[in-house]
Structure 1
Amino acid sequence: MSVRSGSVSDRTPAHLPVSLCAISGFYRMTFYWHLNRISDCVWPQGRDLKNVSILCNYIYLQKLELPYNKIKDLSCVSHMPYLITLDASHNQLTDFFGFQPPKNLKEVNFSHNQMTAMKDLSAYSSLTKLILDHNSFSVIRGLEKCKRLSHLSLAHNNISRIRGLDHLPLRELCLAGNMINKIENLQTLHNLQVLDLSCNRIQSLTGLQNLRFLGTVNLESNLITEIKEAAHLHDLILLREINLLKNPVQDHDDYRIAVIFLLQHLILLDKQTVTAEEKVAAVNKYDPPLEVVAARDHMTHLVYQLMQPQVIFDSTLPSLDAPYPMLVLTGPQACGKRELAHKLCQEFSDYFAYGACHTTRGPYFGEEDGLDYHFVTEEEFHNMIQMGQFIQTMQYGGHWYGLSRESIERVAREGLACCVHMELEGVFSLKNSYFEPRYVLLIPSVVDNYVLFLKARGFYSNAQMETAVSRIDLYARINRERPGFFDSIIPCDDRAEAYRSLKQLVKEYLGLEEHSGGGDSSSITPDNTSTNTTGELPAASATESTDLMDSYSRNYQKKIQANMTPQRTEMASNHRRLQQIREALSGKSPGAYAELFQRSVPAAPSSLASQSHPPAGPSSSPVRPAGLSAPNLSEDSSSEESRASSGLSMRSSAGVFSAESPARGSDAGSGPNIEPLDISMLGQDRDSLRGLTPDAPRPASDRVSPTHPSSPGRPGANVKPVLPPIPSGRKTNDSGSKQ
């Protein structure tokens, strides 16, 4: 036995014999003199001690360790009032705390004994740590008054239910290796931080959701089968480690990623470190941000589109920098997007046409197939995805929605801008494409009125209405956190007022202004600026005109701004673009399509060679495809510049084959002429073109006006006259006078 004395340990033998009866005479007196001052007693392990009653005289002992012996009686502890730590593990004790309680006893280890029943420990008020592993306890009892107990271990007993622990200040609880089927009666353990329930029969994690300080959970070797059980721990923000090894739940696909997603604060899962890459992968898989969903959607449609035969779309514009004009109305469900889009397209039918989306949901009352939506089955919808027919798709309310390429092309064939409506997810997806629409957000400002409107329609369940209301905050947050994401925001509480605001906004986009001409009638002018009676430009209009000078729109400007040098200002950039437009219209520089086809230009027919290739010389004019007249430059150039500057005033691919398209060629003497485009590819009649030279005058009836196309069509136009896009597609009454 090794003993240590507080003040005279240097005089005390390091090792005392097992039999203390041999001590006699002077040595016995000396021993008992030190005996009253010994504070620690650590008996060597494995000495097969059975009787330690001689320790009754160690009244000042504070630490007593007697593990791995055959002790059956610890009544000697009753004579140790100052004892703090007692280790009697791996013995043959059957009596639970069979001694008078030392008033300061804090830590007790009775593991690996033969105890069967717990008794009341109210007298042990100072007890902080109690280890009772590997005994035969079946019920937890007698701990109600242990108000300082912070560590309790009852592993490998016969406990079948968790009870008797109410309101204890436990920080660590170990109940491993028992017969527990259900986690219960732990909601009052508010300080619990470490819980070990391994090697039990637990099937559900319910019962842990209120342990807000829980940081470590060991559930190895249980019967947990569903990943969704981890959701009970979702709100435990301090949870850092969980062990689910040897549970059936590990057989699920993506088990680890799924648990990491549900418990995103984890550091260790199944004794393995959770990496940042795993957390990102988990979020992207089960709750991806809108940007990730949109990127995946765009990549999917782009790949499927590339697998289809490649054609030049009707929405392709002559300028490679110019986006096809589109207007997108977005906002929460039932905010009036569809109604306002229809009304806008009816009133501005010379500029806009409605693009109907596809959906897998059934039609609501009053909706018509092909007019409001294209209603298709889910199988048809996914077949269209695989055929590359969609620009963007999204899933909302359990149904699929998608904007098809054909919906846009159908409008582009008419030379009009496409007006569509979609939810926020569709906007994110469309922003990844090469389209650069104007995005107008319609959002309710009075939630109560919005809820009443949803209820009045009678189409939506309570869950659908709650989802719709919650998305108002989502739209507001996106608008707040991403300045410029929407080009304009319009409150939609009053539909009539919302349409008036939308109408005025569209007029500003198109450069249309209403002004009085000495009477009550008003007229619409195609200029981007308006003048007052004095002929001066209002300050507000000048500011708006400056904002609209950028033909790329605000969204497109952000993409190209990184490629601009810091010295270039916005006005300089606008001036450069307008200069390029003037040069293209006057024939000083080849058009975008001339540069495109210059890579592999098909040879012109021999019968047209003399007509398509005039002799080069100082007097030769720029080369143009036969049958196309020179651009009409008699109109006000400022009007043309302002038209080209509007984000919704872009020319469609019809301009390539019309009189207003840039001439394909170069100035005389500037270099070799550009090979003209093979007219036979356009489906033209050679006989009708024979005898015409590029500069030959044409009859007045054949001249091209901004409202009448010069050619019967182009590939895919179905022989229907193609209206050039805005503003060339305007059906004005004074077009004949301009000619």
Structure 2
Amino acid sequence: MEKDVILTAEMVSEGVIHHEQFVGRLQHMYRSLSLSGHNLSDVSVLSNYVHLQTLKLPHNKLKDLSCVSHMPCLVILDASYNEISTYFDFEPPKKLKEADFSYNRLTEMKSLSAYESLSKLSLDYNSISEITGLEQCCRLTHLSLAHNKISRISGLDDLPLTYLCLRENQLCKIEGLENVKSLQVLDLSLNRVTCLTGLQSLQLLCSINLEKNQISEIHECKHIHNLQLLRDLNLLENPLQEQPNYRLAVIFLLQQLTMLDQEVVTAEDKVTSVNKYDPPMNVVAARDHMTNLVYQLMQPQVLFDSTLTSVDSPYPLLVLTGPQGCGKRELVHRLCQEFCDYFCYGLSHTTREPYSGEENGIDYHFINEEDFQNMIRMGAFIQTMEYRGHRFGLSRETIEGAAREGLACCVHMELEGVLSLKKSCFKPQFVLIIPSQEENYISHLKSRGLYTPAQIDAAVSRLELYIRTKEQHPGLFDHFVPCDDWEEAYQSLRQIVMEDLLLEEEEGQRSSKVGTSTGQNSAEKQHPQQPEPASEPLASFSASPLDPSGTQLNNTQDKIASQKTPAEAASIRRREQLLREALLGRSSGVYSQLFKRSTPSLSLHKENPEARFDDDSSSDETQRSSALSVPSSAGALMELLDVSVPGQTQETLKDDPGSSQTSIASHSAAVSPSSERRPTSSLKSILPPIPNGRKSPAAASPGFSSNVSPNPGVTEGGK
């Protein structure tokens, strides 16, 4: 063993270091003594050095530091790695700021109220079992008690601590820190902590080290969820790390983190965690759409009636959306009843239980979760969503049933369903139905007696979501209808539909024709070739069966004809030719034109804009658009011809094919404009045509059904 050494004046003179510093015109002298690793056991000679300001005596064998009592200017004291068992057994230097007694033999703490300037205290690797005596240390900001025997935290109330290290003690829970409001760094590693309760009030915490503890549940992170300044969290070697997706779950709960388990938290990690545990509605909609699309493509592929219109005129779909209980379902029902020649109610599937008064097959298709998942796997849905723990879906068969009848489908859904339907191939018109007076809305929900208080609160809270979505996504909703008064809301919705269907003028025309019905009947007898209103198909919303005189259609034709370009005129003539060939059986199926490729170029002559274009000189694009604009079935073709040239036979058409040219061309021109509407457009939106009109016994002329053989490639319903 090395021999104990007694400190001498010569050794002191060798270890003393003088520092000079000028502050302005004043000269300051700082004296520092460092004697590390000299096996010193006695330093009593230092009593004579009263001007020392820094004293460092680590790695010695000291047991007594009474000499410090004679150093009133001492600021820093390092007595670590010694054999001291007495706690601050010297007169307190009034300027002492930092004291290090690590790696000694201290067993208890005594009052340090006399040390008013103490700001940093390190007592690591001792045998201290309780924190005491620090109540009056009003400037203490750094306290380290690592590797002791502390079992509970106490005696730290109202201290200005910013750093606290209690590493490797015997702590089982976090307590006694509620009033340490300024704490920024906390080290509780190598303890037995099982819960994070007790940290939620420490709003300035930036770093927490909980390595090698007993935290087993991820949801314990909820206690530190509101610590907005928390950036570094260490949970290494805790049982919760064994749970699946542990890292993403913690990052999701603590989005403010930049370091987790000593690894950098990237922006990609945060986005991935949010998309996994609380994805935005558009992400959910995209996932649902991909799922439905993949399963649908796995089924045998067929042509659907709702896809056989044209590229620029997709199947018309009207969607009413709004918060729960706003009356959108009742509005849809009433709309479909009044405009039954145009709309069909789209019945959705749901896994929720029916409310009082709801009926299966009338309000919803109520099915269980297993059946719903089976329908998803069969590719039956075009849109699915989850709302308040229940699944909702709009099946393709619902839309197909309406399309086969020549009707537009009208449905209602929540905002999540709107975003899901936006991903599909359909381009619906979305009408936002929303209350503008919150109090009236709450009263309405309560009066229905269908919702619990929690459900009412959830519905009211979504009002802001709808309003914010409308403001942040201009163009998402085509129309906005307040629903504080149900009758006013319906009249507003009705006006929107009337404008879209071009039925505004027909209402006045119908009232003016009541007194002249007798004259009209006689006129019809004199002109037997004029078609009856009942036999007119619903080939377009712009050609209404409610206008038997055809005034509305003629007005529309005139407006369009006045703006025709040479390319449009060529397109109309191409359609006429396709109609004649299809009816006479001289060409391939109408829809086989979709797959026909042609390369002739289109020559436009500015000098003669009225010049007739030959069919063979039509451009590829013109031919394709012409083929797509032809109605979707042979029945529809005969209905169109029946309206235009009733009573003619096949032989008549062969002899004079131009006799029906004008009528067919004018009808084609009436349905040709594109229905796409942009948010900034000032034009009225027109619902595009659907493949076939509502089926009627008088839809086709008996002469055509007996004499004309439809093309076998085109069957009824567009399949």
TM above 0.5, yes or no, is yes
Within a 5 Å distance, the mapping from 1:600-611 to structure 2 comes to none
Quick check: 2:575–2:665 contact (8 Å CA) kept in 1?
no
- Residues 448, 136 of structure 1: CA spacing in aligned structure 2 closer, same or farther, 3 A cutoff? same
Within a 5 Å distance, the mapping from 1:495-514 to structure 2 comes to 495-514=486-505
Report what 2:610 is aligned to: none
Quick check: 2:404–2:717 contact (8 Å CA) kept in 1?
no
Report what 1:598 is aligned to: 596
* TM-superposed deviation, 1:597: 4.4
Quick check: 1:512–1:528 contact (8 Å CA) kept in 2?
no
Quick check: 2:6–2:43 contact (8 Å CA) kept in 1?
no
* TM-superposed deviation, 1:588: 6.9
Match 2:258 to one of 257, 267, 291 = 267
Within a 5 Å distance, the mapping from 1:98-113 to structure 2 comes to 98-113=89-104
- Residues 179, 518 of structure 1: CA spacing in aligned structure 2 closer, same or farther, 3 A cutoff? closer
SS for the counterpart of 1:315 is helix
Query: Take 2:492 and 2:353, find their aligned partners in 1: how far apart are those partners?
Result: 31
Query: Take 2:34 and 2:10, find their aligned partners in 1: how far apart are those partners?
Result: 21
Query: Take 2:59 and 2:513, find their aligned partners in 1: how far apart are those partners?
Result: 109
Please report the TM-score for the alignment, with normalisation by the length of structure 2: 0.75
* TM-superposed deviation, 1:498: 0.6
- Residues 22, 376 of structure 1: CA spacing in aligned structure 2 closer, same or farther, 3 A cutoff? closer
* TM-superposed deviation, 1:580: 7.6
Report what 1:43 is aligned to: 35
* TM-superposed deviation, 1:88: 0.5
Report what 2:325 is aligned to: 334
Q: Write out per-residue CA displacement over residues 506-557 of structure 1, whole angstroms, 9 at most, x where no aligned residue.
A: 111111105546978899997699xxxxxxx9xxxx9xx9xxx99xxxxxxx
Query: Take 1:577 and 1:251, find their aligned partners in 2: how far apart are those partners?
Result: 68
Match 2:426 to one of 432, 435, 452 = 435
* TM-superposed deviation, 1:133: 0.8
Quick check: 1:214–1:239 contact (8 Å CA) kept in 2?
yes
Partner letter of residue 716 of structure 2? G
Match 2:690 to one of 623, 646, 652 = 652
Matching of residue 172 in structure 1 with residue 163 in structure 2:
yes
SS for the counterpart of 1:170 is coil
Report what 2:529 is aligned to: none
Report what 1:713 is aligned to: 716
- Residues 348, 577 of structure 1: CA spacing in aligned structure 2 closer, same or farther, 3 A cutoff? farther
Segment of structure 1 superposing worse, 206-215 or 624-633: 624-633
Query: Take 1:577 and 1:331, find their aligned partners in 2: how far apart are those partners?
Result: 43
* TM-superposed deviation, 1:504: 0.4
Matching of residue 75 in structure 1 with residue 73 in structure 2:
no
Report what 2:203 is aligned to: 212
Quick check: 1:626–1:692 contact (8 Å CA) kept in 2?
no
* TM-superposed deviation, 1:270: 0.4
Higher helix share: 2
Report what 1:133 is aligned to: 124
Report what 2:313 is aligned to: 322
Q: Which runs of 5+ in 1 are unaligned?
A: 1-16, 530-536, 551-570, 601-615, 659-683, 696-710, 717-739
Match 2:435 to one of 444, 464, 471 = 444
Quick check: 2:181–2:203 contact (8 Å CA) kept in 1?
yes
Partner letter of residue 596 of structure 2? Q
Quick check: 1:417–1:648 contact (8 Å CA) kept in 2?
no
Within a 5 Å distance, the mapping from 1:47-126 to structure 2 comes to 47-126=38-117
* TM-superposed deviation, 1:690: 8.7
Query: Take 1:59 and 1:575, find their aligned partners in 2: how far apart are those partners?
Result: 106
Within a 5 Å distance, the mapping from 1:533-612 to structure 2 comes to 582-583=572-573, 585-587=575-577, 593-598=591-596
* TM-superposed deviation, 1:76: 0.6
Match 1:391 to one of 370, 382, 386 = 382
- Residues 21, 499 of structure 1: CA spacing in aligned structure 2 closer, same or farther, 3 A cutoff? closer
Query: Take 1:71 and 1:84, find their aligned partners in 2: how far apart are those partners?
Result: 20
Query: Take 1:173 and 1:71, find their aligned partners in 2: how far apart are those partners?
Result: 27
* TM-superposed deviation, 1:585: 3.8
Query: Take 1:286 and 1:516, find their aligned partners in 2: how far apart are those partners?
Result: 56
Report what 2:530 is aligned to: none
* TM-superposed deviation, 1:713: 3.2
SS for the counterpart of 1:327 is strand
Q: Write out per-residue CA displacement over residues 362-420 of structure 1, whole angstroms, 9 at most, x where no aligned residue.
A: 11111111111000000000010000000111111111111111111111111000000
Query: Take 1:522 and 1:102, find their aligned partners in 2: how far apart are those partners?
Result: 111
- Residues 516, 692 of structure 1: CA spacing in aligned structure 2 closer, same or farther, 3 A cutoff? closer
* TM-superposed deviation, 1:642: 5.0
Report what 1:8 is aligned to: none
Query: Take 1:690 and 1:148, find their aligned partners in 2: how far apart are those partners?
Result: 106
- Residues 638, 690 of structure 1: CA spacing in aligned structure 2 closer, same or farther, 3 A cutoff? closer
Q: Write out per-residue CA displacement over residues 252-296 of structure 1, whole angstroms, 9 at most, x where no aligned residue.
A: 100001111111121111001112221111111111111111111
Within a 5 Å distance, the mapping from 1:358-373 to structure 2 comes to 358-373=349-364
Report what 1:276 is aligned to: 267
Quick check: 2:432–2:479 contact (8 Å CA) kept in 1?
yes
Query: Take 2:395 and 2:709, find their aligned partners in 1: how far apart are those partners?
Result: 42
Match 1:234 to one of 216, 222, 225 = 225
Q: Write out per-residue CA displacement over residues 306-336 of structure 1, whole angstroms, 9 at most, x where no aligned residue.
A: 0001111121233123210010000111111
Q: Which runs of 5+ in 2 are unaligned?
A: 20-27, 516-532, 534-539, 545-551, 582-588, 599-614, 617-625, 645-660, 676-684
Please report the TM-score for the alignment, with normalisation by the length of structure 1: 0.73
Query: Take 1:119 and 1:415, find their aligned partners in 2: how far apart are those partners?
Result: 92
Query: Take 1:160 and 1:255, find their aligned partners in 2: how far apart are those partners?
Result: 29
Query: Take 2:86 and 2:306, find their aligned partners in 1: how far apart are those partners?
Result: 91
Report what 2:371 is aligned to: 380
Query: Take 1:95 and 1:580, find their aligned partners in 2: how far apart are those partners?
Result: 107
Report what 2:146 is aligned to: 155
- Residues 381, 691 of structure 1: CA spacing in aligned structure 2 closer, same or farther, 3 A cutoff? closer
Report what 1:701 is aligned to: none
Q: Write out per-residue CA displacement over residues 417-436 of structure 1, whole angstroms, 9 at most, x where no aligned residue.
A: 00001111110010011100
* Identical-residue share of aligned pairs (%): 53
Partner letter of residue 91 of structure 1? N
- Residues 527, 430 of structure 1: CA spacing in aligned structure 2 closer, same or farther, 3 A cutoff? closer
**Aligned-residue CA RMSD (Å):** 4.0
SS for the counterpart of 2:167 is coil
Q: Write out per-residue CA displacement over residues 54-89 of structure 1, whole angstroms, 9 at most, x where no aligned residue.
A: 111110111111111111111111100000000111
* TM-superposed deviation, 1:233: 1.7
Query: Take 1:314 and 1:243, find their aligned partners in 2: how far apart are those partners?
Result: 59
- Residues 294, 592 of structure 1: CA spacing in aligned structure 2 closer, same or farther, 3 A cutoff? farther
Length, aligned pairs only? 595
Partner letter of residue 652 of structure 1? I
SS for the counterpart of 1:245 is coil
Report what 1:357 is aligned to: 348
SS for the counterpart of 2:384 is strand
Quick check: 2:351–2:369 contact (8 Å CA) kept in 1?
yes
Match 2:405 to one of 403, 407, 414 = 414
Quick check: 1:361–1:400 contact (8 Å CA) kept in 2?
yes
Query: Take 1:472 and 1:375, find their aligned partners in 2: how far apart are those partners?
Result: 27
